[in-house]
A and B are shown apart, each in its own frame.
Chain A
Amino acid sequence: MTVISEGATAAPQAAQTAPLLEVRDLHVEFHTRDGVAKAVNGVNYSVQAGETLAVLGESGSGKSVTAQAIMGILDMPPGRIPQGQILFQGQDMLAMSGEQRRKIRGRKIAMIFQDALSSLNPVLSVGYQLGEMFRVHQGLSRKAAKAKAIELMDRVRIPAAAERVNDYPHQFSGGMRQRIMIAMALALEPDLIIADEPTTALDVTVQAQVMDLLAELQREYNMGLILITHDLGVVADVADKIAVMYAGRIVETAPVHQIYAAPAHPYTKGLLQSIPRLDRKGQELYAIKGLPPNLLHIPSGCAFNPRCPMAQDICRTEVPVLHTAGPGRGSACHFWKETLGE
């Protein structure tokens, strides 16, 4: 059912070094009143230092839940991790104590959330919230922490940082708030940053600025970056490789440019076709038919089969493994060759 394919996880440029983070056969389920919702069903992916992995999928595909499991901020209960490993710098984080994991959070792995307004504490100044990282993890004094906070705000190019350090989140614009979130994640120069839809809540022009800043800082600090998004446009410029998720599984992984040129999974293909394009102006926009699956009742066989234009009998009975579909590429489709070859 869950086959770890070599080609699926390793990026071509860093194939021989040990990955910074490796998720192996991760399962996450939520126990609800109506039954067990299987949010993540055997996810494998890895990130190298300095590499950007984009995790793509609709809401409910399990991309954020996977990230929360890596971060160790899943609500458990109702969440549960019945199976899998999350190796960070070679150590399985799922086997660690709560205190060990806490020390990794923020210091070695940091997270940027989607909605900066609700993700920042409304009653504490941004300087306090940034400085808190240094006070808690490095034992700095209030004053030294504030100086560090101003430095960080400068780093993410917030104008007049020294004057604004005592301001509260609601006094900043959306783009500036997201910069503060980024600054907070960068504070202790972590090895890995997980950005969960970092630009979704922003205006398009601001989106590009924030994304560029994030990419630039990542290069500078040589951090690994997991970029969770449902926006294919954001991905193209910054990601090295892409993992497409559907119903808690990875359905396709590939180096970023190959996936745009020739998708190897009908779902990825559908996603690409549903991007509005200028040269198709006036024509009806393509949409993948049907709805994302109910996680309480995931369809048997390939979870995508009810919505797939290529579905055959085998798709309704057999779960496809992640087939190697070229160097660094994988596709969990019985008909990946046909999809690729079309």
Chain B
Amino acid sequence: MGRYVIRRLLQMVPVFIGTTFLIFVMVYALGDPVAAMFGDRAPDPATAAQIRHDLYLDHPLPLQYVHYMGQIFTGHFGKSATGQPVTELMGTAFPVTLRLTLVAFAIEAVVGIGLGLLAGLRRGRFADSSVLAFTLLVVAIPTFVTGYLLQYFVGLKWGLANPAVAEGAPIGDLILPGIVLAGVSLAYVARLTRTSVAENSRADYLRTAVAKGLPRRRVVTVHLLRNSLIPVVTFLGTDIGGLMAGAVVTERIFNIHGVGYQLYQGILRQNPPTVVGFVTILVLIFLAANLLVDLLYAVLDPRIRYA
């Protein structure tokens, strides 16, 4: 097990370097950060050169990248467009997004697995068809459509929830955005669970469980669900990273000042430290989530643990 973890950790290194280098190249090489600082005015060449020197921009790109990474690992993420340190933005943004992600994740896991189990146990019947139709609909409609529709109807017209999230992002306000954010993933979880449950409910070991005289409840939870959740857990784990990064649209709709909002601002104002800094942290989260899934997978399936 220990060697397995170390191997997985080592595999992450090239992934981390590859993704961060790509985002670095895209932001620094394709845009001109100095020009962005001056807006419409043409910068004075001497000043521009000075800024380039100060920002280490007069070096070759790979050197710039190494220099930047060195800065990041000592905690220097640079300054945002407003002059605030990027680390300060992160300090306020990540807790908010994390809360939103957790709300969305809980909805996705509970509702998705619940619907999937229901459909899988009643294959070919009304409940099954309804779940399939519902998930198809959810997958087909883009997030910004469901987001604005729910905001309009639930938030404004019927007044059941706050249409925008208040300062500090209380959990109560995050439920509606959580539903919007969870939507598409929830549909995938439901479908994945359904397929897995349907497949496993025909398995020989399930027949054995029935033949042992176990109550149906136990047959379903201990024998069927346990086995069926293995692929679902994989999806859920990798989706944590996706949920955190994918909150850009949802955060904008509900005016949540989280990671998505800051990223959006960073891109809009062409501020490289914000964009690269946030993305680097997201990459790390993504990698950590993946590692967690691999470990969880080994816990759930002994055939992998001992392989």
Contacts and interface: CB of A to CB of B under 8 A. Distances in A.
B303 A105 contact: no
Interface residues of B, number: 23
Interface stretch (B47-55, B209-217, B277-285): B209-217
Contact of A121 (B211, B227, B230): B227
Contact of B212 (A105, A122, A123): A105
Specify the main secondary structure of chain B where it touches its partner: helix
Contacts of A105: 210-213
A102 interface: yes
A119 interface: yes
A170 B306 CA distance: 10
B221 interface: no
B203 interface: yes
B99 interface: no
B167 interface: no
A131 to B, nearest CB: 11
Contact of B300 (A111, A123, A136): A123
B218 A71 contact: no
B211 A73 contact: yes
Contacts, number: 74
A136 B213 contact: yes
A121 B208 CA distance: 9
B207 A123 contact: no
Interface residues of A, number: 28
Contact of B301 (A118, A123, A125, A171): A123
Contacts of B207: 73, 113, 119
B102 to A, nearest CB: 27
Interface in A11-65: none
Contact of B213 (A106, A119, A122, A170): A106
Interface in A63-81: 71, 73
Interface string B272-306: 00000000000000000000000000001111001
B212 A133 contact: yes
B212 A132 contact: yes
A267 to B, nearest CB: 29
Interface in B192-216: 203-205, 207-215
A297 interface: no
A110 interface: yes
A113 B208 contact: yes
A309 to B, nearest CB: 38
Given A168-B302, A168-B303, A171-B306, A120 B205 contact: yes
A171 B303 CA distance: 9
Contacts of A124: 222-223, 226
Interface string A132-173: 110011000000000000000000000000000000101100
A337 interface: no
Contact of A122 (B210, B222, B303): B303
Contacts of A298: none
Interface core residue of B205, B213, B215 (most chain A CB under 10 Å):
B213
B204 A119 contact: yes
Interface of A: 71, 73, 102-107, 110-111, 113, 115, 118-125, 132-133, 136-137, 168, 170-171, 184
20 contacts: A73-B210, A104-B213, A110-B212, A118-B203, A119-B205, A119-B207, A119-B208, A121-B205, A121-B223, A122-B301, A123-B226, A123-B301, A124-B226, A125-B302, A132-B212, A136-B212, A137-B213, A168-B303, A170-B302, A184-B212
